[in-house]
């Protein structure tokens, strides 16, 4: 929905349209993403994190022409990408459930106040929401960080 509002969100001119998944079906699973360096306030301090995240969408493929993708990357607006087992961005299904180029799955605007994303980190903010997690995780999962970052910005 947020990508449809880009005309009224300053600094979001490079945001793509999101269209039907390449698979032509609703996709729901746990996949890995890598957080890139960006001005996104939600992802502050999470650069280079590779984390499991839930996806659940039928229209998650970013429709991005190559020139627009290059502009997004040069402006550091590419917040997150689906990655393979080597933490490299991937176009391969089912690791990239929607078929977005280079696994792009989250973007921010120029000042980082607005972030759009297709995964659902809000479904995995507690360690107990995972079927398995490392023993050193306590009550909070790694996605709790985006909520704490939001709170810092609001205060």
CATH number at residue 141: 3.40.50.880
Q: Which residues span the domain enclosing 127?
A: 2-148
Whether 18 is in a domain gets the answer yes
Whether 108 is in a domain gets the answer yes
Number of alpha carbons in the 13 Å side-chain half-sphere of residue 90: 18
pLDDT tens digits, residue range 65-107? Answer: 888 889 999 999 999 999 999 999 999 999 999 999 999 999 9
Whether 77 is in a domain gets the answer yes
What pTM was computed for the model?
A: 0.91
CA distance 140 to 134: 12
Total domains in the chain come to 1
Whether 63 is in a domain gets the answer yes
Whether 154 is in a domain gets the answer no
Is pLDDT at 155 greater than 70 in this prediction?
A: no
């Amino acid at each position: 929905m947020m990508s449809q509002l880009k005309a009224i969100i300053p600094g979001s001119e490079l945001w793509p349209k999101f269209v039907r998944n390449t698979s032509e079906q609703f996709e729901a699973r746990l996949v890995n993403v890598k957080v890139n360096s960006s001005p996104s306030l939600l992802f502050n301090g999470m650069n280079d994190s590779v984390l499991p995240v839930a996806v659940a969408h039928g229209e998650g493929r970013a429709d991005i022409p190559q020139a627009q993708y290059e502009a997004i990357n040069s402006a550091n607006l590419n917040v997150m990408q689906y990655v393979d087992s080597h933490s490299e961005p991937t176009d391969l299904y089912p690791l990239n459930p929607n078929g977005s180029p280079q696994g792009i799955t989250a973007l921010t605007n120029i000042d980082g106040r607005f972030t759009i994303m297709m995964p659902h980190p809000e479904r995995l903010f507690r360690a107990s929401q995972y079927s398995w997690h490392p023993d050193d995780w306590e009550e909070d999962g790694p996605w709790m960080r985006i909520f704490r970052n939001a709170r810092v910005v609001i205060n």
